[in-house]
Amino acid sequence: MAPTACFNCQQARAVIIRPKNRHKLCRACFLAIFETEVHETITGTNLFYPGERVAIGASGGKDSTVLAAVLKTLNERYNYGLDLCLLSIDEGIRGYRDDSLETVKRNAVQYEMPLEIVGYGELYGWTMDQVVEQVGKKGNCTYCGVFRRQALDRGAARLGIKHVVTGHNADDVAETVMMNLLRGDLPRLSRGTKIVTDSDASDIKRSKPLKYAYEKEIVLYAHHRQLDYFSTECIYSPEAFRGSARTLIKDLEKIRPSSILDIVKSGEDMAALVPRNVSQNGKGSQRVAAGEDEATGGCGSQNGRSSGGEMAAMEQQLNENETAESHETEIRLPAGPTSQKLPKGGKVIKKQTMGHCERCGYISSQRICKACTLLDGLNRNRPKTAIEVSVGMEDEESSTTLMRQMERTQLTSAEMLKKNEDEHV
Amino acid sequence: MPAKELDSPCMDCKDTESVLTVRRRQLCGACFKRFVSYKVFRRMEKYKPPRNPQDPRHQLLLPLSFGVSSSVLLRMLDAELERQRSKNFARNTFDLHVLVIEPSTMAGSSVPYDRNYEAVQKIFPQHTYSQVPFHSIFEYVPDMNEIMREYTGPQFTDDSSRSNAERLAAFRAAISTATSATDVDSVLLTRLVAAFAKQSGCETVLWGDSDSRLAAKALAGVAKGRGASLTWRVSDGVSPWGLQFDFPLRDLYKAELIQYESVCPELAEIIIPDEPPSDNVLTKNLSIDELMMRYVETQGAKYPGVMANVARTVNKLETSNSGNASCGLCGGLVGNVKRNSGVTVSSQAESSGSPFCYGCMRSRPEINC
C-alpha cells in the first residue's frame, strides 16, 4: 500500500492521525500546526505583554513539559519577549513527586530556564504522604488542591512574578465543565472555562495556554519532539464527580473526536448565561464535595476509579432537601399564587469581601484562610498518630504502590499498542 | 368500626394497601397519581384564567409521540382540565392541541400507530388533534429546501421534482454519522413543531420530556457544542421563534412516568412501547444522544437526585439577550462561530460568516467526525 501523503503539505509521508479531526499529517506539519494553534490562542486572548515575567507551573508531567517546550519555541519564534522560568511544587508524595522533580530539574537545564521548587513540607510542615497517613485516602485531594493553590502563589511571589501559566488542557477544561454540571455548581461553571483566572483572591494571575489542546495531541507532540517527561499520574484517586466526568468524556471522544472542543465551547457559552449574582459569588449553590478551588484538572489517576462517596453524599443531601421541601409546600399551599413569585425574586446574596488571613497573611475571604483551617485540623490530631497508625499505613501503602505498578505495566503496554496504531497510517 | 388490617398501608391516606414505592415512600395508586399530578399542576399554574371571560384562553400545543412521557402528560393535562370544569362556574384556563408527527415518516420506525391515534382521540375527546408527516416541514417552513441546500453544501443536490418525502430522505442520507443524524433530526422536528404551533395559533409548546430525558438532553447538548441553546431546549424559556417552550414533566423521573402508566390502564391502548436498548453496541457506534440517555439511566439508578439536579441547574441559566443573528437551521444564536470552532487553523478561516451556529456546523455532512 502506498504511503499516504500529509493532508497539509501533500508532500511528506503522513505518520500521525490527528486526534482532533483524524487528519493524516507528517511530523513537521503536526508540530507546526500544534504550535500555531497555541500561538493563536495566546495572541487571540492577549495573554502576555512584552517583557512579562512568567512562571510555568511545572510538574514534570507531559502537559507542563509540553507547555514549557512550546512557550520557549514560540517566545523565540514570534519574539514575545517573555522572561520564562519554571516553578515546581513538591507535594511530598514518595514514588511520584520525587521522581518527577528530577525530570523538572533536567528540563530546567534543557530549556535553559531557572527553576524554583516550593515544598509542602517547608511551607506547611506537612507532606502529602503525612496528610494521607492522617486523613486516609478519601478527601486528601482537598488538602492537596488548597495547598497547591497557595504554594504556587507563594512560589511566584518569592520570584517576584505576577503570572503563572499551567498545563491544563482541553480535556481538563471539558472535564471541569461536565463535572460542574453534574455537581450543579454554577459559580464554577462560569469560571472554569476562562483562559485567565485572576480572582480577587490573589494578585497573581493564572492562565492556561493549552486550553484548546487535546491531551492526546500533547502526548503526540511530546513524543515526536522527544521531550523528556515523567509519565506517572498521581497515585491518589480522583474525586468521584471528576472520575465520572472523565469516563464520559473518553466515551464522547470515541464517538465524535471534536466533542472535547465542543464541550469547551458550550462551557464558554454557558458561562455567559450564569446569573450575575451567582457568578460573582463563590458559594451560590449547594456543594457537597468542597475543595478543589477552580479547575485543578491535571491531578488524579487516569483510571477514574473512585469510591463514589462524593456522589452518594450529594445524592443524600438532595434527597433531604426534597423531603424538607415537600413538608414546606404542604404548609405553603393555601397561600396559592404568592408561591410563584419566589424563584424570580432572588435572595440577597452576600458578596465576598477579601481580606487577609489572620494567621499567614494570605488573601482570603474568611478570617482564617482555608489552608490554615485545614492545617489546624491536621495539627490538632498529630500527636495521636505516633507509631501504630503509621506502621499500619506503611503496609497498605506499599501494597497499593505495587498494585499501581502492575496497573501501570498493563497501561503502558496498552498505550504502546495505541501509539503504534496512531502512527501507523 | 374496626380498623382494617393492612400489610403495608399507603403512607399518605393510611387506609389503602400501597402498591408502589415512590421516592422511598409507599403509596396507593390514587395517592401516587395525586403526588405526580401535583408536580405537573404546579408547572401549569402559570396559565391563569383570562381576566375577561370573553378573552381567549391559552392555546397550548402538545406534541405526542405515543411514548410513555408525552402520553402520560396528555393524560394528566386532560385530568387537570376535567378538574377545572368540575368546579362550579369554573372555565378551562387553556385549550390543548395535540400534534402527532406520523411516526412512519420518521427514522427507523415502522410500527403501525393508526389504532393508537384513533384510541387517543376516543379516550381524550376534548382536544383538537392533528397529524402531519415529518416531510411536511417543506410546507410549514417554506425556505427549508434553501436552508438544506446551503447546509449540506455542493455534494448534495436537491431535486425539487421529487416528492417531499424523497427530498427529506435524500437530505438525511447525506448526513453520515449517527450523532449528526440524530442531532439534525431533532433540530428538524423542533422546527416543524414550532412552525406548526405558530400556524395553528398556539403560544406555547408543552414538551413531554421527563426529568431524566432533560438531564440527558442537557449533557448531550453540551457535548455537541449547543450549550448556548439549552435555555430553551432544556429550560422553560422563549424559543427563537417567539414561542414559549415548557417542560411540565421536569420534576418527574422516567421511572415514575412508567409507574404512572401502570396505574392508568387506559394508556395501554395509546402507548407504543419503547424498543429496549440493545446492550451489545460498541460505544463508538452510538450517537451522543444515546450515550447520554444510557449514562443518565445507569447513573440515575444509583443517584437519581444528582441526575435530576442537572436539569435543575440548567434551568437556572439566564436567556442570552445579545441581539445576535440566529442559525438558519436550528434557530439558535450564531454567536462567534469563528473563534476556535475549527479544529484546525485553516478551518477556522472557512467558517467565518457562516449562517449556521457552532452546533449545526458540527453536524454538517462534510465534517466527517
Whether residue A112 is predicted with pLDDT greater than 50 in this model: the reply is yes
User: Are A266 and B227 in contact (CB < 8 Å)?
Assistant: yes
Q: From CA A45, how far away is CA B67, in angstroms rounded?
A: 48
Lowest-confidence segment of A27-41, A145-159, A224-238, A288-302 by average pLDDT: A288-302
Q: What values do phi and psi take at B96, rounded to 5?
A: -110, 125
How many beta-carbon pairs under 8 angstroms link A with B?
157
B306, A177: Cβ pair inside 8 Å?
no
Residue of B nearest to A185 (CA): B313
Q: B298 or B280, which is more confident?
A: B298
Give the residue, B234 or B104, on which the prediction is more confident.
Answer: B234
Determine which of A104-108, A236-240, A376-380, B66-70 has the lowest per-residue pLDDT on average.
A236-240
CA distances from A340 to A417, B262, B344 (A): 59, 32, 48
Contacts of A345 in chain B (CB under 8 A): none
Q: Under an 8 A CB cutoff, do A315 and B221 touch?
A: no
Inter-chain residue contact A319 with B305, CB threshold 8 Å: yes
Half-sphere exposure of A198 (CA within 13 A, CB side): 8
Q: A399 or A123: which carries more pLDDT confidence?
A: A123
Burial of A1 (0-12, 13-18, 19+ CB in 10 A): exposed
Q: Which residue has the higher pLDDT, B109 or A259?
A: A259
Query: Which of A18-32, A184-198, A327-341 has the largest mean confidence?
Result: A18-32
Percent of chain A having pLDDT more than 70?
A: 72
**C-beta atoms of B179 and A177 within 8 A:** no
**pLDDT of B153-194, one tens digit each?**
776 776 778 888 888 888 888 888 889 999 999 999 999 999
User: Looking at CA atoms only, how far is residue B195 from chain A in angstroms?
Assistant: 26
Cβ pair A56, A257 in contact under 8 A: no
CB contact under 8 A, A248 and B335: no
CA A248 to chain B, closest CA, distance in angstroms equals 8
- Which DSSP category does B225 fall into? T
Q: What does the mean pLDDT of chain B come to? A: 85
Residue A36 confidence (pLDDT): 93
Chain B residues touching residue A46 (CB < 8 angstroms): none
Q: Which of A112-126, B102-116, B164-178, B241-255 has the lowest mean pLDDT?
A: B102-116
Q: B137 near B186, Cβ under 8 Å? A: no
pLDDT > 60? residue A360: yes
What percentage of chain A has pLDDT greater than the value 90?
36
CA distance B3 to chain A (A): 27
Residue B219 pLDDT greater than 60, yes or no: yes
Contacts of B24 in chain A (CB under 8 A): 319
When CB atoms are compared, the residue of B23, B223, B318 closest to A259 is B223
Q: How far apart are CA A89 and CA A91, in angstroms?
A: 6
Return the residue in A7, A10, A254, A255 with the most chain B beta carbons within 10 A, the one to mutate for interface testing: A255
Domain boundaries, chain B: 8-39, 57-250+257-273+282-322
Helix/strand/coil (H, E, C) string of B279-309?
CCCCHHHCCHHHHHHHHHHHHHHHCHHHHHH
pLDDT > 70 in chain B, percent: 89
Nearest-by-Cβ selection for B303 from A37, A266, A315: A315
Cβ within 8 Å, pair A273-B339: no
pLDDT band at A291 (very low <50, low <70, confident <90, very high): very low
Across the interface, do A266 and B225 touch by the CB < 8 Å criterion? yes
- Residue at grid coordinates 478543589: A292
B219: nearest CB among A181, A319, A322:
A181
Q: What is the pTM of this model?
A: 0.83
- Name residue A269's amino acid: D
CA separation for the pair B219, B216 (Å, rounded): 5
CB–CB of A21 and B343 under 8 A?
Answer: yes
- Whole-angstrom distance between the N-terminal and C-terminal Cα of chain A? 10
Residues of A in contact with B303 (CB under 8 A): 311-312, 314-315
pLDDT reported for residue A106: 94
**Is pLDDT of B76 > 50?**
yes
Retrieve residue A127's grid coordinates.
507532606
Judge whether residue B47 has pLDDT over 50.
yes
B9 to chain A, closest Cα gap in Å: 20
Residues 6+ apart with CB under 8 A from A147: A91, A120, A123, A124, A128, A371, A374
Please determine, for residue A342, whether its predicted confidence score (pLDDT) is greater than 70: no
Contacts with A, B 43-72, CB within 8 Å: 45-46
Confidence of residue A378 (pLDDT cuts 50, 70, 90): confident
**A222: Cβ–Cβ under 8 A, 6 or more apart, which residues?**
A62, A65, A66, A69, A229
Q: In degrees rounded to 5, what are phi and psi of residue A370?
A: -60, -40
Statement: residue B87 has pLDDT above 90: no
User: What ipTM score was computed for the predicted complex, to two decimals?
Assistant: 0.90
Tell me the three-class secondary structure of A238-254, residue by residue.
CCHHHHHHHHHHHHHHH
CA atoms within 13 A on the CB side of B199: 14
- pLDDT averaged over chain A? 77
Task: Give the bridge partners for A83, in sequence order.
Answer: A53
Residue of B nearest to A30 (CA): B344
Give the orientation angle of helix A240-255 with respect to helix A309-332, to 10 degrees: 100
Residues A113-129, mean pLDDT to the nearest whole number: 89
SS3 labels along B8-72: CECCCCCCCECCEEECCEEECHHHHHHHHHHHHHHHHCCCCCCCCCCCCCEEEEEECCCCHHHHH
Q: Which residues pair with B26 in a beta bridge?
A: B21
Q: Residue type at B3?
A: A
Domain at A30-283+293-310: CATH code: 3.40.50.620
Instruction: Name the CATH superfamily for B57-250+257-273+282-322.
Output: HUPs (3.40.50.620)
A160-207 per-position pLDDT tens digit: 999 999 999 999 999 999 999 998 888 888 888 888 876 555 678 899
Judged by a CB distance cut-off of 8 A, whether residue B176 touches chain A is no
β-pairing, A24-25 with A16-17?
antiparallel
Sequential DSSP letters for B190-216 = HHHHHHHHHHTT-SEEE----HHHHHH
DSSP A13: B
Task: Tell me if B303 and A23 make a contact (CB, 8 A cut-off).
Answer: no
Q: At what angle are helices B68-86 and B29-44 packed, to 10 degrees?
A: 80
Cβ contact A273–B318 (<8 Å): yes
- Cα–Cα dist B224/B180, whole Å: 9
pLDDT of residue A201: 59
Our measurement of the distance from residue A11's CA atom to the centroid of its chain's CA atoms, rounded to an integer in Å, reads 39
